[in-house]
Structure 1
Amino acid sequence: MANPWAGEATLVIDGKRHVLKLTLGALAELEATLSSGSLVDLVERFERAEFSTRDVLALIVAGLRGGGWNGRADDLFTAEIEGGPVMAARVAATLLARAFTLPEGP
């Protein structure tokens, strides 16, 4: 189960539940794979709902790596993601939000 207080989210890929997290290393790898701009630009694209499928895939791969996955983006090209592209985009946006905002206290 994912811990939202630790910035985690879950995604079911090929029937297996994965915990995703944007660690500092995963964020650095993500930034290196972005075709344009910085992480701030990526956040802004998501806020404006102007992100690409490439952005979603890069975030999912980074989150999976932060969660301990050793695969590559190519491994997801034929993978079955529960909830499809909409769920993948939702999880990607959740990861960004959790990585760059502090949880609210009780």
Structure 2
Amino acid sequence: MANPWTGEVALTIDGERRLLKLTLGALAELEQELETVSLVDLVQRFEGGVYSSSDVLALIVAGLRGGGANVRRDDLLRAEIEGGPMAGARAAAELLARAFMVPGDA
């Protein structure tokens, strides 16, 4: 089970339940991959509903890597996410929110 207090989010990919987490290292990789000045820009895109499928994929890959999986973007291009693209987007948004959640806010 995912522990929201540690920033974990669960997502079923190719029939396997996986735990995603944005560690500092995963966040740094994410920032570099998305070529964004700051992650605040990404948070604002999600809050405004103007994120791209590339944003969602990058967040899922970063979360998997932060959760200890040795994956690359290419590994997920044909992956089946239980619940479809919207479930992936919800998980990505939740992952991003939990990474910046202040203890006691939830």
Taking structure 2 as the reference length, what is the TM-score of the superposition? 0.95
Secondary structure at the aligned position of 2:12 is classed as: strand
- Residues paired across the two proteins, number: 106
- Equivalent residue number for residue 59 of structure 1: 59
Pairwise CA RMSD: 1.4
Distance in 2 between residues matched to 1:35 and 1:51, nearest whole Å: 14
Structure 1 pair 105–43 and aligned structure 2 pair: CA distance change class (3 A): closer
Aligned partner of 1:85 in structure 2 is: 85
- 2:39 maps to what in 1? 39
Report the equivalent of 1:5.
5
Cα separation, 2, equivalents of 1:76 and 1:89: 14
Q: Percent identity over the alignment?
A: 68
SS at the partner of 1:70? coil
Once the 2 structures are TM-superposed, how far is the Cα of residue 101 of structure 1 from its aligned partner?
1.5
Q: CA shift at 1:105, angstroms?
A: 6.5
Structure 2 unaligned runs (5+)?
A: none
> If the length of structure 1 is used for normalisation, what is the TM-score?
0.95
